[in-house]
Structure 1
């Protein structure tokens, strides 16, 4: 039995999970192609149209991908706005041309200036966004426009590291206006519900790399969640994670979809032991024949950390093998 056999669909994040800056993450393509499950790519990145995302996925070897397999937060933002303002309303789109096209397709009139008195501002990631565009959005919001964001991700993982995400741009507009937008993307559950419904799925598995968006969103939707350690959230993030952001499974990569489910859950592994000493999580032991794998130490530690009723502020190794494992934590 493996994780993949327990579910009837996969809801997959993209950046940090499937690819990083357009480069396929190790084991991602082969693991997805072998799954045999219906799937949907659920992404907070609103800068690319579904058709473009699908083409990019085909380019890295996910040959059967079409636009129908992609759900972006820009699509979700347009749906959210349509529930709040009348069709035909004027909107100012702070985002890429593909986002503007989605807004037009949703029945809105896209305008270029706050002087056109838009009823809403739709804000999605665009690498070309600058002071002038942010200021135009602020002017519209201060004049009464409703504010919708595709997502609130503070960073965007790329090949060179973590770049500025849409949430960081949103923070500038919020600081200037005092208005916090309604966010259509993760960690809200709406995209997960919509993706599962599109696949007629009753038991989906939500897969991602960020605890505060992918995992929190899947959890909020009542789904099992599978975190891969290939993107933003790392070992220490998991130790300190609040209950709403704790995944069902902790995986090294998407290849672990084919591992036995119990082996990916928090619990004692690799001969490691863990205990709580005040506010410190202490890891000891380790089986040298199995190798001091960092993720085995992590899953061992999480069983104790997540059961603790008091905050943990430090992690300490109390054996040589534990110390070797913690050297590879991040």
Structure 2
């Protein structure tokens, strides 16, 4: 099946992202199957301004190279009257660059952001993300940019177009970006429990962030699709009392994820009616054992 790797990271060139994917075992990954939010922002701008237009870019040199590759003229000052400002993450972004972007926007340049992630997770904690830098420009100009990145649908729509896919499936580990973006694009979504969003986040997920399928990992691709949908399975039953999901039953061989899918069906049905589920209460040994590993 054709695959596209979609990332909100606008600071790295597609070939660099592809190399990182190969380093973790995805040997078939090449730059042609990588779509960064920088590329998506450039495509978004290209629909609004002529290909030979001048643009001011707040971002890395790879972002500038991508813009030049489609015919844009990259300028270094608002005095050059750029038709658009494209804003992506760069750890070396300065006050001067943000000010030049603001001046260009005040003079009429269109404003596009690669993504609006306010934080950037790194080893030492949450660093300032592109969205926080964008917020400074918005504060100075009163202009909100069009955002190309997740959780908006633009990147997913572009990926579908490039793949010529009829029924795309969005796979991700984060509800408020990967899954929300897929839902916004009207696509089926596949949540894996190996990353950012865990069992309890799913239980309280708003409708716009609810995946079609839930699996422990990518190994779920080998399972029957119906088994991966929220619903009673593994001998578990679930119903809601007040703010609690009551989880009961369960077979000896049942898994924590089967318990989760059972609970999700009950929790989401109640939340759609305007109530909110806050916790899970187990009333059987198998249910209690299954929930022990939830996070």
| The two structures share one fold, judged by TM-score above 0.5 | yes
Q: CA deviation at 1:133?
A: 2.9
More moved, 320-329 vs 47-56: 320-329
Structure 2 counterpart SS, 1:84: coil
Deviation per CA, 1:283-302: give whole Å up to 9, x if none. Answer: 332437236x4433321111
Deviation per CA, 1:226-250: give whole Å up to 9, x if none. Answer: 0112222222322222222211101
Change (3 A) 1:148 1:253: same
For residue 261 of structure 1, the aligned residue among 196, 203, 225 is: 225
For residue 73 of structure 2, the aligned residue among 77, 84, 109 is: 109
Q: CA deviation at 1:166?
A: 2.3
Distance 1:97 1:210 in 2: 28
Q: CA deviation at 1:123?
A: 0.9
Deviation per CA, 1:233-282: give whole Å up to 9, x if none. Answer: 2223222222222111012211211122222111123443322223x132
Structure 1 counterpart SS, 2:131: helix
Contact 2:75 2:82 in 1 (8 A): yes
Deviation per CA, 1:196-224: give whole Å up to 9, x if none. Answer: 23223222211112222222222233321
Contact 2:245 2:267 in 1 (8 A): no
Q: CA deviation at 1:169?
A: 2.6
Alignment correspondent of 2:29: 65
TM-score after normalising by structure 1 = 0.79
Q: CA deviation at 1:313?
A: 4.7
Contact 2:82 2:104 in 1 (8 A): yes
Contact 2:247 2:263 in 1 (8 A): no
Distance 2:62 2:206 in 1: 35
**Does 2:207 match 1:243?**
yes
1:318-329 equivalences in 2 (<5 Å): 318-319=282-283, 321=285, 322-329=287-294
Alignment correspondent of 2:155: 191
Contact 2:236 2:251 in 1 (8 A): no
**Does 2:247 match 1:284?**
yes
For residue 105 of structure 2, the aligned residue among 141, 160, 183 is: 141
1:167-206 equivalences in 2 (<5 Å): 167-206=131-170
Q: CA deviation at 1:183?
A: 1.0
Contact 1:272 1:283 in 2 (8 A): no
Structure 2 counterpart SS, 1:192: helix
Q: Which runs of 5 or more residues in structure 1 are unaligned?
A: 1-36
Q: CA deviation at 1:85?
A: 2.0
Distance 1:206 1:172 in 2: 32
More moved, 235-244 vs 153-162: 153-162
Alignment correspondent of 2:265: 303
Higher relative contact order (CA 8 A, sep 6+): 1
Structure 1 counterpart SS, 2:170: strand
Contact 1:219 1:244 in 2 (8 A): yes
Structure 2 counterpart SS, 1:39: coil
Q: CA deviation at 1:53?
A: 1.3
Structure 2 counterpart SS, 1:54: helix
**Does 2:58 match 1:94?**
yes
**Does 2:175 match 1:211?**
yes
Alignment correspondent of 1:29: none
TM-score after normalising by structure 2 = 0.88
Contact 1:156 1:162 in 2 (8 A): yes
Structure 1 counterpart SS, 2:4: strand
Distance 1:179 1:54 in 2: 34
Change (3 A) 1:206 1:54: same
